[in-house]
Chains A and B, each alone.
Chain A
Amino acid sequence: MTAFGPIFPAATLAVPTAFLVAVFFPRLRDSALALQWVAPIPALAAAIFALACGPFALDAPALKLSLWLDLPTALLLAVSALLWIAVGAGAFFDRVERPEPRAAVSWLLTMIGSLGVFVADDLLSFYLVYALVSIPAYGMFAFDPSPGTARAGRVTMAFAILGEAFLLFAFGMLAAGEPHGSLRIPDVVAALPGSPWRDAALALLVAGFGAKMGLVPLNGWTPLSYAATRIPAAAVLSGAGVKAGVIGLIRFLPLGVPMAGWGEALAVLGFATAFYGVAIGVTQQNPKAVLAYSSMSQMGVIAAALGMALAAGDANAPALVACYAANHVLVKGALFLAVGAFAARGVRPGAWSLIALVLALSLAGLPLTGGALAKAASKPLFGYGVAAALAAASSAGSALLMVHFVSRLPFSWRFDATASPVRLVRSWPWFAGAALLLPYVLFPLVGSFGDALSPSKLWDALWPILVGGLLAVWLARVADRLPRIPPGDMIVFGEAAFDRCLASATLFDRIDLAFRGWPAAGLALLAIALALAYATANAG
């Protein structure tokens, strides 16, 4: 069995690529699109295999490629693959509702990237798949237009490219710091604490992955992006796409070595994001925007957990954080599908609203749901002091935000880009059920039920929900006095600053005009000659 092991990570990337190639041939196009939900199945198989039989690697030095699957990466790969399969099956099955081929190409490219980030093990292939998960997503804006997609697409792309630039710089430093020239991620991360560029590299890594996760202050694109994309795309992007940032932090932070300063800084950033997301999220009317801010908040909690782990030098953190993030993948995907469902059917008090409420609160850690298990998994990382209190407070905030979300669900039909394919609408309760129950299957890999389901732990999980619920009731009363903050909040400052930068471009035009004149260019030539002569003479 182990002899066949390495085939799975390779198939994770190869099979979706084959589907992508098939889309370009007109005869194969229809079947490729109808069946493209099959593409992530090898990834799922690979992940299950890794979870069952332990980590394994695939090294192909000729292609400068290494792949690796261990517990944290396999956890995230499994749930991401499930999400892609489920949403893809619903979105592409019916020919009428199927996205056009160009959007399908973006879908497949993003899928390759999204699954690839969990298996890539060397710097260059990681950068490649990370670029694939960020950049082709533009196609989901460009080819499925609704009002506001142009702006959302611009902003998303700007942040994606900015994040890529940060990461490239960081990777350059990581590669330079590795004494033997190896580009494998474990090697460069092991060399990081002792590297002369440690601080700069860490700052850039956090900035780069933070831009993807939506950490403050690089968070402006998240609400715009999710509010503008259609439901299937929003579900996979916010579920699986954002986790590329999470896996980046998990793999690239040197978690075995205690770094108090950086760890605490990251934790502060994480908690700030967590509370910021709640604060702005409660002012939002569009349920998709609320979900976006909730994602931001949850990513903040994850960042805080990793920060605490980094400060303590906890090497077991990856698995626990991965479990938490895996739950978020499932729940967030299901919540976006809920928005689509409610937009299609209107207000349905009763079964659907109840399911939505339970699902939403599971994100805050409602006892006996999968979310509670995820919270239980992440609790050890926060310890017992201030961090634990903040974590509990953030759970309360999440509960508040989620109740607000459920209250906005019936109004989904008022907002753009909430249309959802029929199959996804009809089957979303099954998604919700899976999201609530699957963590029970995954949790035993990182913790024990007995401990997690003990009464004291259940109460620990319950009281933040109650606090959040009370806050939600209060919020409902003051709802009209809340400020109307547009989705994207600080992005308007970013856009204004960008416009002012563009204005400075006229300066460049004037310089060009000056040097287009012969005298200026001629004198420049002489000046360069003289400068070179001076430099050569002086150095000698």
Chain B
Amino acid sequence: MTPAETTTSSGALLVLAILLPSAGILASFALGGRNAERIALGSAPLALAIALSVLAEVWRAGRPIVYAIAGLSPPLGIALRADGISAVMLVTSALIIPAAGLYARAGFATPPAERESRKAFTFWIMLQAISAALAIIFVSGDLFNLYVALELLTFAALPLACVEGRAETFAAALRYLLFALFGSIFYLLGAALLYGAFGTLDIALLAERMRPLPAVTAAAALMSAGLLAKTALFPLHLWLPPAHANAPAPASAVLSGLVVKGSFFLTLRLWFYVLPALPAVGFDAILGALGSGAVVFGSVLALMQPRLKLLIAYSTIAQIGYLFLIFPLGSGLHAWTADGWNGGLMQVLAHAFAKAAMFLAAGVLYESLGHDKIAKFSGAAKAMPMTFLTLGLGGLSLMGLPPSGGFAAKWLLLRASVASGQWVWALVLLVGGLLAAGYVYRILAPALSSDPVALKAPPRRAGEAIALSLALVAVVLGFAPESFFQLLDIGRPALATAGLP
């Protein structure tokens, strides 16, 4: 048994990370009514504590934490494995999900007269289900287990998207479901082929046994394509704008901030952890090209949207494009690979927080103004300064201006692309930044004027505060110290093949 598969100390933390929200779901069903909300919010600090403990453990040990379920190591059993990026993503999800939950207390509380309302009950259970699914995605080490987690994530995200119960949300959710199923069945087919070729679906074992075979080629292509469909990479983005724009604000925040990152995380696992032994350079270019297309396309379309939520949704499509630049810039073992890897992951984190903040701010805006038509924002910033400050800070990160996590990510990716001679990605980064400045300007400029504006209701202070704190996290990420990037490198396979721990 290689060290990668035996349970390390404190491996049980990984199981706790998954069990806590799952137990919460069961308890919510059992106890019913208002307790769903109480359990969801009450378990949030515990989830954060577990995530932080995992982070501390990984940092202290300097290597991934492993837990073999039921003491059975792969290939017989399933191993949970948390390396640097898993830990960081666990903490991110443990921060954003409660934030969305706290924001949603106003809109999704069970009405006092009823014992149980379908809307509230669904919302709180699905929130916990997303939490559980993400936990599995971030720590599981088995490809089939990840398939189940991916499906769980989709099935949990769906009701959140259409919990409001209007016709267009159902239609958007149906499109999301059918396209996501299209993607995941491809993934399953690929997994079948991989199992047929190597007899295991454990990530570490597959990496050891990997060699170029026609089955592997087909599997890699199928699984990637399926995951790309779930991550809404251009041109497979058709489901994202209506789903994210029509969902309630806290749901959009979680959908854009975390759910699309789940399938992206799997793509990383697939290409960097399972398949790196494969001598394939072409796929980097294809993923990078698609990512560049997404950046330009999403940004230009965001510039043209009349509604704020649709603009933010198209901006998500653009920012997802940046994520895929990690493939040409972070693969292999070159001098610039560390920059590419760190930059890509920093972009994941910065975008998660910034986008969640922007969707929550958009929600506060809609409640106060009664609409989210950008053309009618004149003078709104004076009436709702905190909301527009949040939109501005989130926009700062999206544009990639200092100080923000978005800038840190952009700088690292830029350095990597210059050092590797792949100038085209540098151009993409810069053009994307210019276009992002364009649509952020579109949101903020009319609002800053001094025209009077009629508010339907005063802005909700609690909602504004939550959105602002998420945006501040996105800004603070820009000051991440060197040790943060060392943490992200823990468990990175390229280093493993070089003989480093």
Of B81-89, B97-105, B117-125, B212-220, the one with at least 4 CB within 8 A of chain A = B212-220
Whether B402 pairs with A532 at a CB distance below 8 angstroms is: no
Cβ contacts under 8 Å, B235 to chain A: 515, 520-521, 524
B221 at the interface (CB under 8 A from A): yes
Distance (Å) between the CB of B140 and the closest chain A CB? Answer: 24
Determine how close the nearest CB of chain B comes to the CB of A372; give it in whole angstroms. 41
Report chain A residues within 8 Å CB of B415. 172, 175-176
User: Of B43-51, B361-369, B441-449, B486-494, which binds chain A?
Assistant: B441-449
Question: Beta-carbon contacts of B427-467 to A below 8 Å, as 1s and 0s?
Answer: 00010011001000100010011100000000000000000
Complex: how many Å from CA A172 to CA B428? 14
The A interface is mostly helix, strand or loop, or mixed, namely helix
Whether the Cβ atoms of B283 and A532 lie closer than 8 Å is: yes
**A532 B418 Cβ-Cβ under 8 A:** no
Residues A131 and B401 in contact, CB atoms below 8 Å apart: yes
Digitize B16-60: 1 where CB-to-A-CB distance is under 8 Å, 0 elsewhere. Answer: 000000000000000000000000000000000000000000000
Residues of A within 8 A of B138 (CB): none
Closest chain A residue to B481, Cβ basis: A62
Answer whether residue A535 sits at the interface, using C-beta atoms and an 8 A cutoff: yes
**Do B282 and A536 touch (CB < 8 A)?**
yes
In the assembled complex, which residues on chain A have CB atoms less than 8 Å from the CB atom of B433?
161, 165, 168
* Least CB distance, A133 to chain B, in whole angstroms: 12
**Contact, CB under 8 Å: B179 / A164:** no
Q: Which of chain A's residues 482-540 have a Cβ closer than 8 Å to chain B? A: 505, 508-509, 511-512, 515-518, 520-522, 524-526, 528-540
Contact between B280 and A540, CB atoms less than 8 A apart: yes
Contact with B along A123-165 (1 / 0, CB 8 A): 0100110010001000100110100000001100100011011
* Contact bitstring B209-229, A, C-beta under 8 A = 1, else 0: 000101011101110110011
Partner of B183, one of A517, A520, A525, A534: A525
Contacts of B286 in A (CB 8 A): 528, 531-532, 535
Contact between chains at B238 and A516 (CB < 8 Å): yes
Q: Which residue among A139, A161, A173, A505 has the maximum number of chain B CB atoms within 10 Å of its CB?
A: A161
Q: With an 8 A cutoff between CB atoms, is A169 at the interface?
A: yes
Our pick among B182, B282, B426, B448 for the contact of A522 (Cβ within 8 Å) is B182
> Nearest chain-B residue to A62 (Cβ)?
B481
Say yes or no: is A459 at the interface (Cβ < 8 Å to chain B): no
Partner pick for B434 among A124, A161, A518, CB 8 A cutoff: A161
In the bound complex, do residue B410 and residue A168 qualify as a contact, i.e. CB atoms below 8 Å apart? yes
B224-252 vs A, CB cutoff 8 Å, 1 = contact: the mask equals 11001100001111100000000000000
Report which residue of B179, B228, B282, B283 has the largest number of chain A beta carbons within 10 angstroms of its beta carbon.
Answer: B282
**In the complex, chain A residues 440-478 whose Cβ is within 8 Å of any chain B Cβ:** none
Assess whether A430 is interfacial by the CB under 8 Å rule: no
**Which size bracket describes the interface of B in this complex?**
35 or more
- A525 vs B183: C-alpha distance in the bound complex, in angstroms? 8
At the interface, yes or no: A197 with Cβ under 8 Å from chain B?
Answer: yes
Q: Which residues of A contact B409 (CB under 8 A)?
A: none
Q: Shortest CB–CB separation between residue B201 and chain A, in angstroms?
A: 19
Say whether B225 contacts A528, CB under 8 Å.
yes
Please determine whether A540 and B278 come into contact, CB atoms closer than 8 angstroms.
yes
Contact of A127 with B418 at beta-carbon distance under 8 Å, contacts A62-B481, A528-B286, A532-B224 already known: no
Q: Is B268 an interface residue (CB 8 A)?
A: no
Instruction: Find chain B residues with CB under 8 A from A524 CB.
Output: 235-236
**Residue B265 CB within 8 A of the other chain:** no
Alpha-carbon distance A127/B414, docked complex (angstroms): 14
- Give 13 new A-B contacts, CB below 8 A, not counting A142-B449, A176-B418: A128-B402, A131-B401, A161-B433, A169-B414, A515-B235, A515-B236, A515-B237, A521-B179, A525-B225, A528-B225, A529-B225, A535-B286, A539-B279
Pull 13 A–B residue pairs with CB atoms less than 8 Å apart, ordered by A: A102-B382, A135-B401, A139-B448, A168-B433, A175-B418, A176-B418, A176-B419, A512-B301, A515-B235, A533-B217, A533-B220, A535-B282, A535-B286
B residues with CB within 8 A of A: 179, 182-183, 186, 212, 214, 216-218, 220-222, 224-225, 228-229, 234-238, 278-283, 285-286, 290, 297, 300-301, 303-304, 382, 399, 401-403, 410-411, 414-415, 417-419, 426, 430, 433-434, 437, 441, 445, 448-450, 479, 481
Give the interface of A toward B (CB within 8 A). Answer: 62-63, 102, 124, 127-128, 131, 135, 139, 142-143, 145, 153-154, 157, 161-162, 164-165, 168-169, 172-173, 175-176, 197, 505, 508-509, 511-512, 515-518, 520-522, 524-526, 528-540
